[in-house]
Structure 1
Amino acid sequence: MSQVVIFRHLKKGFSMAVEKHTSNLAVEGLNALTFTRFFAALLVVAFHFSAGVPPFDNKIIEAFVSRGQLAVAYFFLLSGFIMTRVYANESGMVNKGKFWLARFARIYPVYLLSLVVMYSLGNYEGTTVALNVFMLQAWSEKHALTMNVPGWSLSVEVFFYACFPWVLPWLTRRRVVVAAVVAAIAMLLHDRIIPLPWHTLEKLPLPWPDLTGPYSPIRNLPFFLIGAVLGACTKWKMIPRMPGRLASIVAVASIVLPVVWIHNAIPLVAIPFSILILSLAQGDGVVQKAMSHKVPVFLGEASYALYILHYPLMIWYYNAVVLPFELSRTAMFYSYLVILIALSCLVFRFIETPARRLIRSYRSDAARPSAQSATT
């Protein structure tokens, strides 16, 4: 009975959040991309916690979910695309202080909330806490997955944000071709497709030795660069728009493609992910229109909270509810999923958004290049 009451309150809160929230997105095809973040975040959740739960135990669905880690690469690529669409200009310049303040206001409040929850649930060394608080854990293989496991990707994003003001000058209309070549070469280097003496590099006595591992910001930078180049190409209208029906077909195909085509060659996912982003940003088919409605867009905007809180919530939920009430694996996963989605919407509406506005209010001229900045 108590669970029914909880779900009723969550449903009411979700309805309030959607009603009161007004999307900050400009149109231009980016609304549809926002919803893909929600789908990708759910894929990560399923990748972590859906083992043995119907219908995820179906071989076809299991094959799809088992590629869930690829969703993080999609986040990186999409981040580069959106930020370039928002900030790219003919001068190639951006106010670094304003830009970094805007990014800090966007990601840190809920990230810090996730760390507070995890800290209350466990015991951690001082070094571990410090690296996570300052978002440096991805630079150390030993600490990359400490405290809030998904937080490593935010550590990587911070590196992207640090680099972006120096990447931006290469995303102007005249230089974008050069940027595309550099990004392509960087992607080939990602999985050592181009032979380099990596073994020598890895043996150097560096303070941060994990330069080429799966969580390394440097190794994941090519995804961001590819996204940035795509963003510049669409910003400067160097890629034609797709007809509606073709865009819808391409969008669906590019979601399925990583499952049937990509195995261990992670860099190759940049191809279908790029096609997906272009089809949604440059098309106006049925799929694009369906994903641009109010609720899908709101869920997409709340997906960051869903992604960064899904691990802390499961740790708490497992100990506070699953064990005491001896829930089955299926009951655990679906009840947890409902709570997670509702909670993420509430956190986005009543914590994340107000906190972002509060932080940016400390500097009246904070970076506000366009309304689209809420999407990254």
Structure 2
Amino acid sequence: MVLFHVPYVLPASVGLVPLSEGALGVSFFFVLSGFILRHAHAPEGFRPLTFYRRRAARVLPLHYATLILWTWLFFASWGNSLGEKVNSGVANLLVIHALFSGPLYTLGYNAVSWSISVELVFYALFPLLLVGGRAIGVFAACALAVLLLPDAAAAGLERAFPGSFHFHPLGRLLEFTVGMALHAVWRHWRPGERVATITQIGAILLLLALVPASAAMPPHLRNLLLLAPFGLLILGFAWDGPLTRLLSRPLPVLLGEASFALYMTHHMLFRLIDPLLAGLGAAIALPLAVLAAVLLSVAVFLLFERPVRALLNRPSAGRHSHVVVATPVPQGGGGG
């Protein structure tokens, strides 16, 4: 996702498209989010209010911090009327901006935060999906609806809500529920390291093959098709193996923990430093920008995100048990 945004936020210094299909990383993130949340919370003893509080402590502090910072830095130069800015600002404050059509909401203020709005809808639904096999049933219903959706109806949805299969929670529910369903597979089937390694490598090769092959497909069908490599990739790493152990080393773990901060801050940082890097050439400017974004994300995670989350989670730490099982899958984005 970081490289996907380069043409939009580093136009003067880089001015190229290093990863044209980077937006697909959001699909992987929603699948991973469903898997990790199902992994971390067992139906037995599950407390919805505790879950909601911990999820809010996970994503909202950084969302509001970046919203305030974006407003301070870019509000005056944002080329919309004051009324439009206020409407978009209220939607961002309530974290419901992904529910409204158009870039004023889905990409307003800190543009990447639309996915947080989608995640909050999934958090609201999660206690219902956690019971029995409801997640599997919802996934099956969503997959069937996508397969049976006429092209004309899909085009109509896109006209009424541009990016409806990218920005709207209903368009992403398929991915979140398949992540929860994948956890049932992982829970009941644990193959050996050989199968895990083959699955990891096979998923990467399948992804590399399907991404260009599916580029011309309608968005809803492409999202469904790419669930196969994304799901296999998550299962392969959750099953353990040499690549999993490599990612379990201290530095990859730290970068994984800071990935949400990277996602939430890189867009603004790139806009700020783009004029400073202009003239260096893309070969120098791009690595410097990415390095700066990674270092900033680690600092934000260590100095803001983790301490604030610990503070917000402290009151109930001694009163309620919270089941958390370590997962070999690196946490990323807003779903961890």
| Shorter-chain TM-score tier | 0.7 to 0.9
| Aligned mate of 1:158, from 110, 120, 129 | 120
Alignment partners' CA distance in 1, 2:212 and 2:32:
22
Q: Equivalent residue for 1:183? A: 139
CA drift at 1:131: 0.8
Contact 1:187-1:223 within 8 A present in 2 as well: no
2:261 maps to what in 1? 305
Partner of 1:283: 240
- Residues 218-257 of structure 1: pairs in structure 2 closer than 5 A: 218-235=170-187, 237-238=188-189, 240-241=191-192, 243=194, 244-257=196-209
- SS of aligned partner of 1:147: coil
Secondary structure of 2:150 counterpart: coil
Q: CA deviation at 1:188?
A: 4.1
Task: Output aligned runs, 1:56-135, within 5 Å.
Answer: 65-89=19-43, 91=44, 94-123=46-75, 125-135=85-95
Structure 1: give runs of 5+ residues left out of the alignment.
1-40
The Cα RMSD (Å) is 3.2
In the aligned structure 2, how far is the partner of 1:316 from the partner of 1:50? 9
The answer as to 2:147 corresponding to 1:195 is no
Q: Which moved more, 1:103-112 or 1:222-231?
A: 103-112
Query: Which residue identity is paired with 1:155?
Result: S
CA distance in 1, matches of 2:154, 2:129: 28
Residue number in structure 1 paired with 2:79: none
- State whether residues 47 and 67 of structure 1, in contact with CA within 8 Å, keep that contact through their aligned partners in structure 2: no
Provide the C-alpha distance between the structure 2 equivalents of 1:74 and 1:367, rounded to a whole number of angstroms: 30
Partner of 1:340: 293
Shift of 1:199: 7.7
CA contact (8 A) 1:254 1:273 kept: no
Alignment-derived partner of residue 139 in structure 1: 99
Using the aligned pairs only, state the percent identity.
Answer: 25
In 1: Cα distance, 2:96 partner to 2:57 partner: 18
Alignment of 1:350 with 2:307, yes or no, is no
- TM normalised by structure 1 equals 0.73
| Residues 49 and 110 of structure 1, relative CA distance in 2, 3 Å threshold | same
| Contact preservation (8 Å) 1:360, 1:366 | no
Is this contact kept in 1: 2:34–2:179, CA < 8 A? Answer: yes
1:43–1:71 contact (8 Å) kept in structure 2: no
Letter in 2 for 1:97: L
CA contact (8 A) 1:88 1:232 kept: no
Alignment deviations for residues 139-177 of structure 1 (CA, whole Å, 9 cap, x no partner):
11221110111111111011100100100003xxxx3xx
CA contact (8 A) 1:47 1:68 kept: no
**Secondary structure of 1:157's partner?**
helix
**Unaligned ranges ≥5, structure 2:** 76-81
Q: 1:47-87 CA deviation, whole Å, 9 max, x = no partner?
A: 75678999x77xxxx5xx21111100100000000110111
Does the residue aligned with 1:106 lie in a helix, a strand or coil? helix
Tell me how far apart the structure 2 counterparts of residues 338 and 105 of structure 1 sit (CA, whole Å).
27
Q: More deviation in 160-169 or 241-250? A: 241-250
Comparing 271-280 and 107-116, the one that deviates more: 107-116
- Deviation at residue 361 of structure 1 after TM alignment: 1.5
1:349 Cα deviation after fit: 1.1
Matched positions, count: 311
Q: Return the offset for 1:248.
A: 4.1
Give runs of aligned pairs for residues 27-38 of structure 1, distance below 5 A: none
Does structure 1 conserve the Cα–Cα contact (< 8 Å) formed by 2:98 and 2:167?
yes
- Decide whether aligned partners of structure 1 residues 72 and 248 sit closer, same or farther in structure 2, where only a CA change above 3 A counts: closer
Deviations 1:201-248 (A, max 9, x none): 969xxxx9779453111111110000011012212x246455254244
